[in-house]
Amino acid sequence: MRRKVQIFVKTILPVLLLLSIAASAQDFKIRAKVDLVVVPVTVKSSGDKLVAGLKQNDFVVLEDGRPQTIANFTVDPVPLSAAVVVDTGLSAGSFSKVQKTFPALAGAFSDFDEVAVYRYDKFVTKVLDFSQGTERIETAMKTLNDLKPDSRLESNLPRGPFSVPGPTINGAPVVPPGQVGVIVTSPPKQSKVLHDAIFAAASDLGKRERNRRKIVLVISDGASAGSTHSFDETTQSLLEKDVQVYAVGVDQPFPFKAFSVLADYAKATGGDTFFEDSVQNIENSYTTVTEEARNQYVLGYISNNEITGPGPVFRDIAIAVNGRSLKALHRKGYYQYP
């Protein structure tokens, strides 16, 4: 009997030891941290036309200046989760134009997309929660058609970051003849919470399914005043939630387009910006936005950078197309966590 017990122990103990080692190895694999960085990319030629047909080996990816190996590459179109943000504090002429484009805006989305609608001026209001179907989007847009534009805002007034009403000398307003002693002041700045509107849209998009491409489509003049959230805070939220910003800018004279905060949002997140004046061009931009967003090259890589401190660390991303002078639109980076 004793001999049988010894044989049993000698036989079973190695088996139990192997099972324990296997279980430990399996547990280690489950707990191992592997972060796949996913970057949607739009590629355009010098004529701002979309470039199709590129392959995985056409792309070069750098993170903080270090070359990365592309592990995943797809070109399949995906459905959108889109938050449409409409600036209802536009000048009378521009808002009337935008209102005429609402049917085209609803028609730019497919039945597979889900769309939420927000409006903002002094406050942010959600007009429609995420819904599918052109009819529901059109119904939501009709509520914005009932709004009356503010006729006090003249579309022909100078706009942009450097505009100053009236003549000045050394930055001080000139007092017209016959009005000595009269203090000439600028009209009060209108409160328009652009950053808060985009932040709210990003927060809601962060809760949507991961298999959808998440975008904010903002229609605005780019003016912002009185927001609780800053541009930097809003941009961080967009990057953390993998949200791209596409903007249709109105009331933007040529010299100020390059300085628009709308362009800054698009560059930071990998979206695009369209500055338009006519109803037809605004309508065309909606179709271009959804086409670009739905059909992107998607590059995935596992970062070879490691965090040495508590983190998170912002990682800068640069993507180029091998041997070709093409423009690659993509998010500027991401936040890597320990």
pLDDT tens for residues 273-323? Answer: 999 989 999 999 999 999 999 999 999 999 999 988 887 999 999 999 998
Considering only CA atoms, which of 210, 93, 104 is closest in space to residue 155? 93
* Encoded tokens for 238: 């967009």
Determine the Cα–Cα distance for residues 1 and 3; give it in Å rounded to an integer: 5
Q: Rg for the chain (alpha carbons), in Å?
A: 27
Compute the CA torsion angle 157, 160, 166, 171 (nearest 10 deg): 180
* Encoded tokens for 182: 């009269």
Lookup result for tokens 């009337």: 96
Compute the CA torsion angle 16, 18, 19, 25 (nearest 10 deg): 150
pLDDT, position 63: 98
Q: What is the average pLDDT across 144-150?
A: 79
Query: What confidence tens digit (pLDDT) does each residue in 153-191 have?
Result: 444 444 444 333 444 444 344 444 544 444 444 555 568
Query: Are the C-beta atoms of residues 270 and 244 closer than 8 Å to each other?
Result: yes
Confidence (pTM): 0.80
Considering only CA atoms, which of 297, 294, 246 is closest in space to residue 52? 297
Q: What is the average pLDDT across 329-336?
A: 96
pLDDT, position 130: 97
Considering only CA atoms, which of 216, 274, 256, 261 is closest in space to residue 86? 216
295-318 burial, b for 16+ CB within 10 Å, e for fewer?
bbbebebebeeeeeeeeebebebe
Q: What CATH fold (topology level) applies to the domain 80-150+189-295? A: Rossmann fold (3.40.50)
Chain-centroid distance of CA 280 in Å reads 24
For the chain, domain boundaries: 34-75+298-336, 80-150+189-295
Binned at pLDDT 50, 70 and 90, residue 148 comes out as: confident
Residue, of 228 and 29, whose pLDDT is higher: 228
pLDDT, position 308: 85
| pLDDT reading at 105 higher than 90 | yes
Q: What is the average pLDDT across 102-122?
A: 95
* Encoded tokens for 266: 């698009």
Determine the Cα–Cα distance for residues 160 and 130; give it in Å rounded to an integer: 33
Residue 186's contacts (CB-CB under 8 Å, 6 or more residues apart) are 164, 165, 173
How many helices and strands, by DSSP H and E, does the chain display?
9, 16
| pLDDT reading at 7 higher than 90 | no
pLDDT, position 9: 45
Query: What confidence tens digit (pLDDT) does each residue in 217-264 have?
Result: 999 999 999 999 999 999 999 999 999 999 999 987 666 666 899 999
pLDDT, position 11: 53
The average confidence (pLDDT) of the chain is: 83
pLDDT, position 237: 97
